Amino acid sequence: MKNKKIARAFFAGAFVCSLSVKAQLSLSGQVKTNNGEPIPFAIVGLKNTQLAATADADGNFKFKNLENDVYILATKSVGYLDGIDTINIIANAEFNPVLIASNKNLDEVVVNATRVDKGNGMAYNNIDSETLKKQNTGQDAPYMLNQLSNVVVNSDAGNAVGYTGIRIRGSDATRINVTINGVPINDAESQGSYFVDMPDLVSSTNNIQVQRGVGASSNGAGSFGATINFQTNDLKDKSYANVISTAGSYGTLRNTLAAGTGLLNNKFTLDARASNISSNGYIDRAKSNLQSYYIAAGYYGKKSVLKFINFLGQEKTYQAWYYVPEDSIKNGNRTYNPSGEYYDATGALQHYKNETDNYKQNNFQLHFIHQVNSRMNFNITAHYTKGKGYYEQYKNPAKEALVGGSGAKLSKYGLENVIIGDDTIRETNLIRRLWLDNDFAGAICNFNYTANSRLLFTLGGGYNTYFGKHFGRVMWAQYASNAEIDHQYYLDVANKNDANAYLKTNYKPFSNLNVFVDLQARQVDYTFVGFNDLLEEKKQIQSYTFFNPKFGLSYDANKNLNIYASLAFANKEPNRDDFVQSSPQSRPKHEQLMDIEAGAHYTKKKITLSANFYNMQYKNQLVLNGQVNNVGAYNRVNVASSYRRGVEVEVNIKLNKYLALGANLAVSQNKIAKFVEYIDSSNADYSISTQYKNEYRNTDISFSPNTVSSLVLTIKPLKGLEISLIDKNVGLQYLDNTTNVKRSIKPYNVLDVRLNYTIKTKLIPEIGFMLSVYNVLNTKYETNGYTYSYYTDAKLYTYNYFAPSAPLNFLGGISLKF
């Protein structure tokens, strides 16, 4: 027994010693060019670990405390091709990575100012092109982000084609900053992003980064919930062609053709894509007909890149944004669409065939990137976007009367009443078009300087100007009165100028500590036609000067564990409706946000685990409360204090070569300290009208679920075959800010299955088969909605409208790569 104890002690001691030895190994080296010259300040990292280092001015780097293992060394420097080397470390090792000079990755300079990494102390996710390719069957761009942490998506048509939306941490699209290659995409007035105007954008996207919270957004609308940055296709060395066709439920069909020349004469490239997507939609008459193209031409000099990008989108969709009445859903009709309804001369209910939304948007970008030397590079981008379109509606007095509307009164359209004998006609059937004709142009730039291995600066800014014409026309009227052909009954012109400048600094006082500072100043000037204090419509101008500082800390506790924290401030101006539907007396204040984030990220070979805590404290957040302001509009109002607080947990585990698991869970509280609700009240004949007032304390913010989770189990049973089981769970969402469960979207859990199979042949280099089956359990659920209430003779009536999602449905297709 004694000998056994001695043996056990010996082996235990030997084991401990072996662990100690493993922890003492080091890897050092010098990053060089293929001519043997050192490359200063190159980024060197060990894949599947948290270890990364910046080489010094002579290209030297060193990693300490490594285990006996095989490592993949990734080396990167702007102006050189990325290097990948495999190193088996069994003792202290020295290895000198060699990088080949190239301007191919200079494209990344374009998005440097909008991106973050682990050193910035912020919560973010990256999606690469391979991941996008697997899930891109033709659904709109927000649905490509559905499995990310704290993301909730919605679709008007019910099958993710046509008008779709996204909320992150409960914040809608007007509070999510979106850029494409660093160029702001949000509409300057409404501040929303409409992906329906950029069909099949994902097919021309190389990668996406989603930053939650204030993030590091530099250009465009203020980020009050998240930032989404798209980078379009990168440089491809060789010529290629790609044909993709998918088809599926509800007559959905998508065809995409992409091709590129590769690098010609080692200097020129040309890439192009054309796409067409059509669908009948799950909701009645929710048809979509979407076309788009993408063209990129590039010149790659020795140290400079000049790149021209043009992408156009054109959409025609039948209006489905009124959603389905709750009573209809309860009666089993989940696809009922009230849009376009009218009563004909016999009193029969009809549907106007052209109750459509039509819009065309053309985007132009010109990027110039220059590598001054190994320490310095800059990017200058000019951009222009032309948008024009309308939505058409049939206005019917009989239908309007049922919903208390006045949309068919002649006086509303600047028309005189029609007198026929002793009768005075004040209403008419008519068809109208509401137009938007806008131009958005500007320039942005960023200058990047690496002072030394510890200090990096980015200085940048931009100036953007927007000019928009809003006008309405009567296309036809039963009683045309004094109208001429295409009678224009209103015209509003608006101009918005947006300038900003920022300085971003990354400083490493120690090798394992990074300090991030981002200081942005922004000036906004908005000129519009609105009501003055005398309630006269006059041209007005509103100006804002914002200062948005951001600070972050990132600390590598050891080779596996990174701890971070950040503090960010953001300001955001009101939207167009807040201005034009108010007077200076009732005009809301701008919104303010303080965002505190802290978290940890743990990585080992087969597992990554992260937890992020956030506290987003709002001042003067804008919400709807039902109150009629002094110009008779139901405008948004400021609430003094509100917040979003929560934790986001993400885990990815590679169980073995056949199985991988990815999951995330967000748990949050989203509260308004004091909220006052106003509800219209009248007697039966509307001769007496007033508003009821209800006050709430510590109430939930609308459309902000307390729990959101996602789980993806990926199985690879055969070479080239990947099967993914995808589960999405979204908690209860309130339609307004009263925490009334009778005005809410029920929680839902949805299971999808995705199959991707790739084979290679001599004739066709790569053939990909894809099949996505959505909602395999046939769950009945809704993704969006709205509510309104009123009192009649002191009795409360509440009406809810929802956007139902499709039951079991599929999209499948084939991709041919040449």
Q: Identify the CATH number of the domain in which residue 67 sits.
A: 2.60.40.1120
Answer whether residue 305 is part of any domain.
Answer: yes
Q: What is the pLDDT of residue 375?
A: 86
Residue that wins the pLDDT comparison between 53 and 735: 735
Answer whether residue 595 is part of any domain.
Answer: yes
**Both 118 and 142 in a single domain?**
yes
Confidence of residue 91 (pLDDT cuts 50, 70, 90): confident
**Both 148 and 282 in a single domain?**
no
Percentage of the chain lying above the pLDDT 70 cut: 95
Lowest mean pLDDT among 41-55, 123-137, 211-225, 641-655: 41-55
**Both 228 and 297 in a single domain?**
no
Q: What is the mean pLDDT of residues 720-727?
A: 96
Percentage of the chain lying above the pLDDT 90 cut: 72
Examine the fold and report which residue of 85, 102, 119 is the final residue of a domain before the chain moves on. 102
- Scored b (16 or more CB within 10 A) or e, 639-668 reads beebbbebebbbbbebeeeeebebbbbbbb
What are the CA-CA distances from residue 434 to residues 468, 472, 537, 591 (Å)?
Answer: 13, 4, 19, 29
Please answer whether residues 694 and 680 qualify as being in contact, where contact means their C-beta atoms are separated by less than 8 angstroms.
no
Examine the fold and report which residue of 178, 206, 232 is the final residue of a domain before the chain moves on. 232
Q: pLDDT for 162-219, tens place per residue?
A: 999 999 999 999 999 999 999 999 999 999 999 999 999 999 999 999 999 998 878 8
Q: pLDDT for 631-668, tens place per residue?
A: 989 999 999 999 999 999 999 999 998 999 999 999 99
Q: How many CB atoms lie within 10 A of CB 12?
A: 10
**Both 202 and 334 in a single domain?**
no
Confidence of residue 258 (pLDDT cuts 50, 70, 90): very high
Please answer whether residues 246 and 166 qualify as being in contact, where contact means their C-beta atoms are separated by less than 8 angstroms.
no
Q: What is the pLDDT of residue 6?
A: 47
| Res. 286: pLDDT tops 60 | yes
Answer whether residue 10 is part of any domain.
Answer: no
**Spatial separation of the C-alpha atoms in residues 20 and 13, rounded to whole Å:** 10
Q: What is the pLDDT of residue 15?
A: 43
**Spatial separation of the C-alpha atoms in residues 329 and 113, rounded to whole Å:** 47
Question: Containing H/E element for 19?
Answer: helix 2-22
**Both 571 and 685 in a single domain?**
yes
Q: pLDDT for 613-634, tens place per residue?
A: 999 999 999 999 999 999 989 9
**Both 312 and 208 in a single domain?**
no
Q: What is the pLDDT of residue 406?
A: 52
Q: What is the mean pLDDT of residues 106-134?
A: 87
**Both 492 and 424 in a single domain?**
yes
Answer whether residue 12 is part of any domain.
Answer: no
Q: pLDDT for 312-324, tens place per residue?
A: 999 999 999 999 9
Q: pLDDT for 673-711, tens place per residue?
A: 999 999 999 887 777 789 999 999 999 999 999 999 999
Q: What is the pLDDT of residue 407?
A: 59
Tokens of 188: 């300057």
Residue that wins the pLDDT comparison between 6 and 108: 108
Half-sphere exposure of 94 (CA within 13 A, CB side): 3
Interstrand relation of 782-792 and 659-682 (parallel, antiparallel or unpaired) = parallel
**Count of domains for the chain:** 3
Could you tell me the CATH number of the domain that includes residue 545? 2.40.170.20
Q: pLDDT for 380-424, tens place per residue?
A: 999 999 999 999 999 988 776 655 455 578 988 989 999 888 888
Answer whether residue 14 is part of any domain.
Answer: no
Q: What is the pLDDT of residue 401?
A: 60
Lowest mean pLDDT among 38-47, 152-161, 188-197, 491-500: 38-47
3-class DSSP assignment, residue 13: helix
Q: pLDDT for 582-591, tens place per residue?
A: 999 999 999 9
Q: What is the pLDDT of residue 374?
A: 80
Q: pLDDT for 92-115, tens place per residue?
A: 889 999 988 776 667 777 887 788
Confidence of residue 80 (pLDDT cuts 50, 70, 90): confident
| Res. 361: pLDDT tops 50 | yes
Q: Cite the DSSP H helix spans in 491-618.
A: 576-580
**Both 55 and 193 in a single domain?**
no
* Residues spanned by the domain of 70: 23-102
Residue owning tokens 């499948």: 812
**Both 127 and 44 in a single domain?**
no
Answer whether 0.75 is exceeded by the pTM: yes
Looking at mean pLDDT, say which of 63-77, 196-210, 219-233, 339-353 comes out highest.
196-210
**Both 112 and 207 in a single domain?**
yes
Lowest mean pLDDT among 64-78, 289-303, 304-318, 350-364: 64-78
Q: What is the pLDDT of residue 689?
A: 83
Q: What is the pLDDT of residue 183?
A: 95
**Both 488 and 552 in a single domain?**
yes
Residue that wins the pLDDT comparison between 412 and 724: 724
| Res. 760: pLDDT tops 50 | yes
Is 403 buried (19+), middle (13-18) or exposed (0-12) by CB count in 10 A?
Answer: exposed
Residue owning tokens 């995808």: 726
Confidence of residue 11 (pLDDT cuts 50, 70, 90): very low
**Both 280 and 204 in a single domain?**
no
Examine the fold and report which residue of 64, 87, 102 is the final residue of a domain before the chain moves on. 102
- Round the average pLDDT of the chain to a whole number and report it: 91
Answer whether residue 546 is part of any domain.
Answer: yes
3-class DSSP assignment, residue 276: strand
Q: What is the mean pLDDT of residues 254-268?
A: 93
Could you tell me the CATH number of the domain that includes residue 192? 2.170.130.10
